[in-house]
Structure 1
Amino acid sequence: MMCKMLLALALSLCVALGIAENPVIILSPKTIIVPQGGSVQLQCALVNGSVDNTNVQWKKYNQDLGISEKFQSSTDPKYNSYILTIRNVQKNDAGNYNCEITTKSQTIRGNTIQIDVRGANVPILSQPEVLNVREALTAQIQCSAQNVDLSRTDLHWFRRSLRGYETFATHRADNSVEMKEDLKDRFQSTRNISNNVVTLTITNIQQEDVSVYYCRVWSEVYGSGTQLNITEEVPLNLFVIIVPCLLIVLLLLVGALLIVFHIKRWGCFRDASTQSGDTDEGADITYATVSGQNNTDTLAARSPVQSNDDQVHYAELQLKHSKACAAVTPSETNSEYASVKRN
Structure 2
Amino acid sequence: MTMMMFSLLLLLCIHCPVSMSVTVSSSKTKVEVHEHTDAVLSCDFRTEKDQNPRIEWKKKEKAVTFVYFNNKFIGSYAGRAKMEGAALTIHSVTQKDSGEYRCEVTASDDHVNFGEATVTLDVHGMRLSSTILVPPHIPSCEVPSSVFAGSDLELLCKDKQSVPPATYSWYKDNRALKVSSDAAYSMDARRGTLKFTSVSKVDSGMYRCESSNSVGAPKSCVAQQLKVIDYPVDITILIAGASGFVIVTLLCCICVCVCRRRGCREKKKTKSTKSYNPPPPPPPPPPPIHNIKTYKPTQSFMI
TM-score, normalised to structure 1's length? 0.27
Task: Report the structure number with the largest CA radius of gyration.
Answer: 2
Higher strand share: 1
